[in-house]
Each structure stands twice: as structure tokens, then as C-alpha cells.
Chain A
Amino acid sequence: MSFEPKIVGFLCNWCSYRAADLAGTARIKYPENVRIIRVMCSGRVDPSFVFKALSLGADAVMVAGCHPGECHYLEQNYKAMRRFHILKHTLRAMGLEEDRVRLVWASAAEGQLLAEHIEKFVADVKKLGPLNWGHNWAENGDRLHALEAIVKEHEEAMEVKS
């Protein structure tokens, strides 16, 4: 059986989530691999969400927001963009393929565009193959510790909230 990646998508409530709604209303077909989680704004996407998803077995993560300059919350997608670059840097440092995370923009009118983004991303992740933490870490024990620390931090953060 061919590799079907599991991808978590964080979509902002105002543009990209509605773009996905529109893709549906217009019956635009795209691969079933992306599972969507709604957030109010791409600026809400805590990098720990991405690590959490990857550590729980997602092969890739997509973050989608409003186009730069069109954010429902004025400029919060720029903050998502900034964080995203740091996130990519961290992934590289951990020995992960940075292409496993992707940030895209789609306005509420761009169902077609979002579907194309998803189609492309799924195809690209298929080329990368399954996420293989162990393989990457075998060469450097520090990375293992780094991830353990991050997971622990999540749990602590969760304790504070609950």
C-alpha cells in the first residue's frame, strides 16, 4: 500500500477555514490526508502545537492564514510568519526536514487555491516519506534530549492550564 501521510492543518477561522468551507461547497476534490483544526487566527498557532502534532505521529503540519495585509486581526498573521521561520530553524536543528511544515495563505474566496496548496503539500510529503524521528536521532543523542525537553515543557504548560 502506498504511503498516505497524516497531516494536521491549523486553519484560521476567518480566511483559510472558510476557504476550506468554500472548497467543499464548490465540490473541489483534494486528498483526504489533511485533518483540520480550527484556530481563531494563524497567530494563535503556538509552535508547540506543531511539535505536539509531529511527536504524536503526524508526518507533516500545515498552517494556513489570511494573506499578509488581510488578517482579520489586522496583522497577527505576520506574527505567525515570524514564528514560522524560527520554527523551521528549530526543526532543522533537530535534524528534521523543514519541508514537513508549511505556511500558506488563502483568503475566504480562495477555496481553489487552498485545495491546490493541500494537493501540492500532500504530494511533497509523500516524496519525503514517513516522519522518522528515530532515524534522525540515532546520529545525535542531543536531539533526543531536546525533544524530550520540549514534550516535557508542553506537559508542564498543560498542567498550568488545567
Chain B
Amino acid sequence: MTVSYDNSKAVFDGIRAAGIKSISALPETWLGLLLQRAEDDPDVELIQVAKEEEAIGVAAGAYFAGEPHVLLMQNHGFFGAMNGVISLAQLYSIPLCMLIAVRGHWGEPYPWHTRGGIVTEGLLRALNIPYEHARDPGEVGRQIAEAYTFSQSSLSPVALLLTRDLMEE
């Protein structure tokens, strides 16, 4: 299995079509081609963090500055960012549009991803974070735009889960 070039492009094009030029990220395999596009786009401000919780702060700063922003991370990175999500974003009513690569899902061959995959949706529900799965490259652009819109109107974190169906081929 390899990461889908065409579908990584569909996700990136969706981010840009939503009017978003500011991205924070921690690289992971499924996000690699996507981040390469972000790096190569002179109009995009990409900040790669050392740990995902930093990105919650960066996103809050971008929001205060009035700059539309998305966060790219793996689900395990989301776990590491959780106090920032709760005690910065939710506490202060700051929107976050998170695109989360969900490892450890149906078809996962790697044992080390499985425990995190099994608990991801339960944790999102426990935190009252609205989420949707992105599986279809023809739909993902619309889903990104809608996730961003909802984060802004609800002043909340929202999560679009990037699945194996979308990211691998």
C-alpha cells in the first residue's frame, strides 16, 4: 500500500479552495505528499511543530490574527495535543479545524497503531468534538470547507478524519 498522490492532492486542493493558506502540522506517512504540496506552494504558510500540542497554540495565534488555518496531524498526535484542545481551544472558545489521519482503523496491518485507532472516536465523543470521516476524494473538498465553516460558527474544535480509503491506494 502506498499513499495516494491524487487523493493527497484532492485534500490539499480542498484546503486551498476553502480559502485557507495557513497550516500547522506534524508530518506522518499519510500526510507526507500533502505537506510536500504545502511546502511547495509559495502562498501557503506552513509551520511544522515538534509536538502536536504546539499546533493548538499556533492555531489560536492564527485565529487571533484573523488568518484561516487548518491543523494536520495523526490521531496519536491528537492524543498528545489533548490538553491544548481542552484548556486553550475549548476553554476560550477558539475554533480549530483539525484534519486527522486515522491510523489503526479497519485494515490496519501495524499493531502499534491499533490501540489508538480503537479509542479515537470514543475520545472525540467524550470531548464533544464533532467529527466526520473523509473517504471519497470527490467529497473531501466540500467536507474540509464545511468543517472549517462549522469550527468558525461553533467556536469549537472540529475533526475531519482522513481514512485509509482516502489516503492509501
Q: Say whether A and B bind each other.
A: no
Residues of B at under 8 Å CB distance from A? none
Interface residues of A (CB under 8 A from B): none
